[in-house]
Each structure stands twice: as structure tokens, then as C-alpha cells.
């Protein structure tokens, strides 16, 4: 028991985090949207800028996406098909998957979330169906997203599992030398900052046939030609030894998630997923409005407007990096982690920022290691330079006043 999961233990460990953030007024804020990542607390009318929004390009409030969502819903006259997609599917679902496949030059299938994409994909890879019918050694990066790690019990019923330190290429190569088939499970862009070492992973893929299953929830749209993200940009195009899962409601600005099963026209993989992967066999799909938004976003991604938004995001990232030093400085990605040290100092800092008009929620154990608490920040294309400068100045001033931060060596 508890070889891969221990819900009771993890619940007890995380209880302090949730209780502290709730009691500090930093958790479960009920807000009204003012658009563009600016919100108002319904209880007291307090307004703030959201510094932890995943809408990296601001597309979730883009007029074309909002209009397309409404039009798709009205056109179909139903929010859902309310039946398995194996039996029937709205034309808008077919059109959305074709558009996504064409945009990224992959064989794409959609699901209702990135977590569902992980649930769909990992057991298939572990079974050996994509690795010459040989179940691979499933190697999880220690920092792989929770939605990947949570699938370990299911994966373990199909293949042997091991976990290696974060981005440890030497450990991974050693396993490749000793096992006939190896599949590496990690993130393209990690949710606390940083990215996969793609050149090294591709070297191992070329040398040993390493299979890659990577979560690109934070990479898609933000970087790369047509917003193809860190992994596809490094590869130049997907190959048969790679499977990518992603979110469509972060940078992409629509709804749900997707699996890039391989090259366009990978009918065998598409059929296998549709017929054998649990969530795809049931009624797990994006609703009609979300599909309409997906179509509009795919069209925008193929236009010059995407480059303009990416350039604006890069300018905001560079501005932030010029004012606040973090380990991620200069990586061109939108996630920044500002380590504070103690949990108490982090909560106090987050409270002060919220009072001053910026929501920067605290992150601490078990999400990060003990004594490494801090703020996870997400930069967006639709932030203004004034907002970024004001936030950075405030952050710097407050951290200088916080003795606990100094004691932590920050």
C-alpha cells in the first residue's frame, strides 16, 4: 500500500497550507471580473491586478474568442452532446480537432482538461502500445506536474516505474543504457518555473530511442512559431517517439486540453486512444462554447496577431527581469518564482501585496520544499508597463522591510 500515493498523508501535510492561506484572506477570494486580469472582491469592492493568471496572452477575454464561443453555443443549441463521442459528436468538435491538428502539424485529440489528457495518455504509453509492444520503464521527473504523478498507480499496473531528480540527464541516460525501452515523463515548462532540457532529451531520443511524454500546459501559445511551445519548437516537429499533452485554457485562451498523439494522419494512435483510453471512451469532452473559442483561437494563432502578443509578452518578461532577480531570469518564459524562505514571511508579503492592489498567492510546502516558500508569478501580454513597474517596486520595498526574508538569505 501507498507505494505511489498516500492521500491521507498528503491531505494532512497540505492542511496547514490551505488553512493558513484561507485564514490570511488569500484563498477562495470571490471576485467579479473586470477583464484583462483585473478583478474586484465582491465582499468589499477591493480591486487588484491578478499576478497569478495563466492567461499568458490575455486571450480568454479576447472579443473574437468570446464571440465565437457564444455563436457556437447558439448554433448547436446545446451545451453538450450528453453522449459518448464514440457514438456521435457535434461538427464543431470535429472542426476544432482538425484546426488544432493543422495548426501544430500533429494528430490532435481534445479532452476536457489537461489532467484528463494525462489520465488518457499515460496508461497507453505504459502498456507498450507506442513502444513496439514492449512496456517501457516509466521514468518520472521528480518535479513533473501533479496530474502526471497522480497517475502512477495506474501506470504501475502496466509497467515498471522509477523517479529521478529534476532534469537529471545523467540518471536518465544511465537508465536508457540498461533498459530496452524507456519513457520519460515530465513538463515542457514547469509550473514553478524552468523548463525541460530539450536538447539533451532529444540527444537521448536519437541515441537510445527514448520515448518522451511531456506536459506543455505552460508552453503552448507563449513561445514558438504559431505558438507551438517549448517542446515542438525544439523538435521542429513532433515524431513517433513523442507524445505531448497540453492545456487549451491557459495561453491558448479557450477551454479544455489536448493530446498530440504524433504526426498528422496517425490514425492508428487516434483509433487506439479513442477505443482504449478511459476518458475518451466516456463523455469527457470540451463543451460547445469552448470548442467555438478553440476554433477562433486556432485562427488567431495562424495570424500575425499572435506574434504581436508574443512580442508584448516578451517585453513584459524582460521588464520584470530587469527589476527583479529570480532563477528564471532570461529564460523567455512567463513563470517567475520569488523565493522568500519562511512560510510566515511569505504569507505576510502576499497579504501586503494584496492590500496594495496585487494578488500574488503564496506557495509553500508541500508544493515546494520546506523553507523554500515564495510567490509564484505569471506575466501576461496584457499587463501594462506601469503595473509591472509598480508591482516590482512594491515587491522590492516590502521584501527589504521583512526581516524573515533577510534571515532566509534572500
CATH 3.40.640.10, the chain: domain bounds: 63-301
Between 3.40.50.1820, 3.40.50.261, 3.40.50.460, 3.40.640.10, what CATH number should domain 63-301 receive?
A: 3.40.640.10
Average pLDDT over residues 318-343: 95
Q: CA–CA distance from 46 to each of 34, 41, 327, 347, 356 (Å)? A: 12, 5, 32, 19, 10
Q: What is the pLDDT of residues 101-122, one digit of tens each?
A: 999 999 999 999 999 999 999 9
pLDDT bracket for residue 402 (50, 70, 90): low
Average pLDDT over residues 238-256: 96
pLDDT bracket for residue 275 (50, 70, 90): confident
Please give the pLDDT value at position 105: 97
- The C-alpha cell that represents 54 in the structure block: 495563466
pLDDT bracket for residue 403 (50, 70, 90): low
- Residues 211-239 as b or e (16 or more Cβ within 10 Å = b): bbbbbbbbbbbbbbebbbbbbbbbbeebe
Range with the poorest average pLDDT among 13-22, 151-160, 198-207, 230-239: 13-22
Answering whether pTM is above 0.85, one says: yes
Please give the pLDDT value at position 211: 98
Domain covering 7-56+304-407 in this structure, CATH number: 3.90.1150.10
Please give the pLDDT value at position 404: 46
Q: Is the confidence at residue 15, as pLDDT, over 90?
A: no
Query: For residues 101 and 34, which has the higher predicted lDDT (pLDDT)?
Result: 101
Q: What is the pLDDT of residues 197-211, one digit of tens each?
A: 999 999 999 999 999
Amino acid at each position: 500500500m501507498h507505494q505511489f500515493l498516500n492521500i491521507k498523508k498528503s491531505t494532512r501535510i497540505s492542511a496547514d497550507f490551505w488553512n493558513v492561506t484561507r485564514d490570511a484572506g488569500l484563498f477562495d477570494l470571490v471576485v467579479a471580473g473586470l477583464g484583462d486580469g483585473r478583478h474586484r472582491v465582491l465582499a468589499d469592492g477591493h480591486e487588484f491586478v491578478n499576478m497569478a493568471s495563466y492567461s499568458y496572452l490575455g486571450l480568454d477575454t479576447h472579443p473574437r474568442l468570446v464571440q465565437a464561443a457564444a455563436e457556437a453555443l447558439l448554433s448547436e443549441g446545446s451545451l453538450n452532446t450528453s453522449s459518448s463521442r464514440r457514438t456521435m459528436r457535434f461538427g464543431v468538435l470535429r472542426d476544432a480537432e482538425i484546426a488544432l491538428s493543422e495548426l501544430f502539424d500533429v494528430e490532435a485529440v481534445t479532452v476536457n482538461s489537461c489532467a484528463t489528457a494525462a489520465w488518457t495518455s499515460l496508461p497507453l504509453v505504459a502498456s507498450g502500445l507506442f513502444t513496439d509492444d514492449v512496456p517501457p520503464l516509466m521514468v518520472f521527473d521528480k518535479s513533473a506536474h501533479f496530474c502526471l504523478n497522480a497517475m502512477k498507480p495506474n501506470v504501475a499496473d502496466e509497467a515498471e516505474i522509477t523517479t529521478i531528480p529534476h532534469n537529471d540527464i545523467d540518471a536518465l541516460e544511465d537508465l536508457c543504457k540498461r533498459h530496452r525501452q524507456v519513457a520519460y515523463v515530465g513538463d515542457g515548462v514547469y509550473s514553478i518555473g524552468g523548463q525541460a532540457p530539450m536538447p539533451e532529451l532529444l540527444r537521448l531520443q536519437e541515441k537510445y530511442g527514448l520515448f518522451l511524454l511531456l506536459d506543455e500546459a505552460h508552453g503552448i501559445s507563449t513561445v514558438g512559431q504559431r505558438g507551438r511551445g517549448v517542446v515542438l519548437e525544439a523538435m521542429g516537429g513532433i515524431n513517433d517517439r513523442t507524445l505531448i499533452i497540453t492545456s487549451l485554457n491557459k495561453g491558448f485562451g479557450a477551454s479544455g486540453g489536448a493530446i498530440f498523439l504524433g504526426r498528422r494522419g496517425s490514425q492508428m494512435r487516434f483509433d487506439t486512444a479513442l477505443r482504449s483510453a478511459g476518458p475518451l471512451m466516456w463523455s469527457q469532452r470540451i463543451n460547445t462554447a469552448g470548442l467555438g473559442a478553440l476554433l477562433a483561437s486556432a485562427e488567431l494563432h495562424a495570424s500575425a496577431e499572435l506574434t504581436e502578443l508574443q512580442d508584448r509578452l516578451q517585453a513584459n518578461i524582460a521588464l520584470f527581469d530587469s527589476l527583479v532577480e529570480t532563477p528564471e531570469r532570461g529564460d523567455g518564459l512567463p513563470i517567475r518564482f520569488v523565493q522568500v524562505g519562511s512560510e510566515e514571511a511569505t504569507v505576510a508579503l502576499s497579504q501586503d501585496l494584496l492590500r496594495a492592489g496585487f494578488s500574488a498567492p503564496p506557495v509553500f510546502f508541500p508544493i515546494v520544499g520546506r523553507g523554500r516558500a515564495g510567490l509564484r508569478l505569471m506575466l501576461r501580454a496584457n499587463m501594462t508597463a506601469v503595473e509591472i513597474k509598480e508591482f516590482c517596486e512594491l515587491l522590492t520595498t516590502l521584501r527589504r522591510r521583512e526581516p524573515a526574508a533577510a534571515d532566509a538569505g534572500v
